Amino acid sequence: MDNEELKENINDSIPEEELNTEQAENDSADQESEDKNLGSEKEEVEKLTPEEELKQIKDKLARTFAEMENQRRRFEKEKEDAYEYGGYSFAKEALNLLDNLERSKAALENDEKLKDTEALKKILEHLNIINNDMLSIFKKNNIEPVKSINEKLDPNLHQAMMEIEDGSKEPGIIVQEIQKGFLMKDRLLRPSLVGVSKKSEKKGNKDKKDEKNQDK
């Protein structure tokens, strides 16, 4: 016999009147407990003096007004960001057009068949006009290139891709720009990819290394 059958047999063996009485007693106990809780809460409220009640109301009002003010400020900030940076995603995509333009120019300049020809000069002239027009549009929309050459490497604006020996500059100075970075107001669209200076090996150390390599 499983648990369900046992339970049913036990319930069947108990008279219906007793079951009803037991249920009524349980309901009554629950009601009494609920009444006690309500009564204790009511007593606490009744114990408050008028001054305490007024203070309680003032505190609730102050919290409500503070929350409303925070919500208003959040809304104003979101509205301002939407206005100022609404074209952020579009600007990032537009940088790809500028990159493709630069790559096209480089490819044409390195084409041996077109080198020093009038056709190449005219094409490059048109590409430069387009390039300058795009940069002008960027500037009108608060998009500016990141300063790189001869600047100290800034991890927030630059990404170092290589080190280049340069005894004339202190280490960490940008000496080559591989790809331009851009800012939209104070927000970075993308970092500049750069090469930074490092100390040149001393001639004496270099000669010693060469001697060791020859001995090997």
Q: Is residue 14 part of a domain?
A: no
pLDDT, one tens digit per residue, over 55-95 is 777 787 778 777 777 777 776 666 666 556 667 778 888 88
Q: Is residue 133 part of a domain?
A: yes
pLDDT, one tens digit per residue, over 160-184 is 999 999 888 899 999 999 999 999 8
Q: Is residue 7 part of a domain?
A: no
Contacts of 85 (CB under 8 A, 6+ apart): 184, 185, 187
Do 63 and 125 sit in the same domain of this protein? no
Q: Is residue 31 part of a domain?
A: no
Do 150 and 216 sit in the same domain of this protein? yes
Q: Is residue 27 part of a domain?
A: no
Q: Which residue has the tokens 């290589």?
A: 162
Largest CA distance in the chain: 113
State the residue range of the domain holding 175: 145-216
Q: Are 135 and 168 in contact (CB under 8 A)?
A: no
Q: pTM to 2 decimals?
A: 0.53
Q: Is residue 161 part of a domain?
A: yes
Do 119 and 152 sit in the same domain of this protein? no
Overall domain count for the chain: 3
Do 189 and 169 sit in the same domain of this protein? yes
Q: Is residue 176 part of a domain?
A: yes
Q: For residue 180, which of 171, 167, 193 has the smallest C-alpha distance?
A: 193
